[in-house]
Structure 1
């Protein structure tokens, strides 16, 4: 016997979490788009479309304050942001390509420096992942080691069943606590075949072979072919669940202000611009080369992971039609 939850009870779970003071985030229709946004009621939860942006900004906001400063009686007073106010949070309805990304980001935010802003949000968040039945021709999660039914990164994983039911799999203690706190919303159910996962036409990539090519082809002429059309807009990085570049700026005056962290992107022309004026990535194909190298070589060299979940958002968002999956397939064929 396995446990399940109906779609009606899933929405009731959202309502009860909110009533209990939990901050709940999930896919919600906002105008013409579906976005991850705070939910005020369960009926707002939208489960029939992949959100336009990823869920990473729940842990790694687009912009956040990290300290304030003010000159008081001739001395500079610096105040840290109180991270204790971060709320207990549940992310509900994350497909595998989004649920897997925080575990990838954990490595960089807890490597040589512990980023307490990110780590505190992670600690206080429970992820309810959901099997995907709605992929399109931009999806390629199965090519980077995930799948539409991958439980990686989820605390509780829901598999869509016929009749608006979800099989419920407990993955971590956080997930176990959630089901224990709201037992009346879950019920026993005999095993049922899940709804079919979306078909992905792209073959499985050999990531090891791709990395081996990247190891020895830094100056290959293929980079110009791949990326000379890149507009450097940063859309791919900003919608990506795994990209994590950021800049830090002081905003204000010499008397009072705020130090803030802002998203950045290695595709921007000034990302590597030196104070001297020299830019080692002075043309766009060098910047796009770095994007591929970072995701499929550098990150792997350091952490043994691929910095990509195959969500396909970069493909959908690119204004000039660059297809990262197609580039990887061409490299794989070398």
Structure 2
């Protein structure tokens, strides 16, 4: 028998998780915008808007220390960050375009080098996804193989019902454990009819065709046309659920400091600048081409996954109006 949870019990669940000393992160009104932030109570949860930034920050922070160093008695002492102190976390209220992104990033973060900072957070996190019943003309998750009701990446998936409650599906053992530990908040029953899901302007794209075109058109006037307006600000990468470029810097002095990981972006002019001064992507059209190639060819070549969830954030955030879905539609219709 399917299980349901009322909205009040969903908020009660957050209250209980906070009391259990879990880090609970979810959409929260912060000033005039909704962001993924730590929730201190169920009343903080906001479920009627897509957060401005993605939820990847829970697993892959904008900036984090990876070690500290200090010179003592003439010797340099290095201290690693104690990853065992990372908190048990629950991400709650993530739509499919956000809930699905860690499952995509897992591939690169556990590839030839295992990023234990990311992986430890993943191990200690449970994702409660929720189907989308709202959206705008920037949403295109269906076009890249997801959907407003896609359960991929969620441990527990909630489907909004017309009576205000949620149908629950425990997708993984983590989801089952979350329900079992708070069984009194869930009830058996078929529930009411689901709310209608979001319609999207962009139809499903032929990603195989797009990848083939990219393979055969590394040099194409399209890249220069886009680059004529791209300002290389990096907003698209920083706001994306799937972009994962980073840099590592030592901050402090020769005697005392920290080594930190910071987000970076392939759209920045110096991202590929060599110590010799040579830059293989020295102009913007090469940098934007790499962005599209990485998402729809290179990542697929390596891991069999598309590095895009169709959230539309890059479209909304771009200061000059570059629309990645429109670019993909253009490529999708090309015959040569």
User: Does TM, normalized by the shorter one, top 0.5?
Assistant: yes
Q: What pairs up with 1:172-191 in 2 under 5 angstroms?
A: 172-191=172-191
Alignment of 1:20-169 (within 5 A): 20-169=20-169
Conserved 8 A contact 2:161-2:191? no
**1:191 positional shift:** 4.7
Counterparts of 2:315 and 2:285 in 1: how far apart (Å)? 17
SS at match of 1:208: helix
SS at match of 2:159: strand
Matched position secondary structure for 2:76: strand
Q: How high is the TM-score relative to the length of structure 2?
A: 0.98
The answer (yes or no) to whether the contact 2:140–2:311 under 8 Å persists in 1 is yes
Give the length in aligned residue pairs. 334
**How far 1:276 moved relative to its partner?**
1.7
CA distance in 1, matches of 2:55, 2:313: 12
Match of 1:226 in 2: 226
Which is worse superposed, 114-123 or 184-193? 184-193
Q: Superposition RMSD on alpha carbons, in Å?
A: 0.7
Shift of 1:227: 2.5
Q: Over residues 56-96 of structure 1, what are the superposed CA-to-partner deviations in whole Å (9 max), with x where a residue is unaligned?
A: 01000000000001111111111100001100000000000
How far is the alpha carbon of 1:275 from its aligned partner? 1.2
* CA shift for structure 1 position 201: 1.6
Asked if the contact 2:4–2:168 (Cα under 8 Å) also holds between the matched residues in 1, the reply is: yes
Distance 2:289 2:6 in 1: 46
Instruction: Name the SS for the 1:18 alignment partner.
Output: helix
Q: For residues 115-147 of structure 1, what are the alpha-carbon distances to aligned partners after superposition, in whole Å with 9 as ceiling and x for unaligned? A: 110000000000000000111100000000000
2:102–2:153 contact (8 Å) kept in structure 1: yes
Consecutive unaligned residues in structure 1, runs of 5 or more: none
| Distance in 2 (alpha carbons) for counterparts of 1:2 and 1:176 | 13
Output the TM-score relative to the length of structure 1: 0.99
| Stretches (4+) displaced over 6 A | none
Distance apart, 1:45 and its partner CA:
0.2
Extract unaligned runs of 5+ from structure 2: none
SS in 1 for 2:300: helix
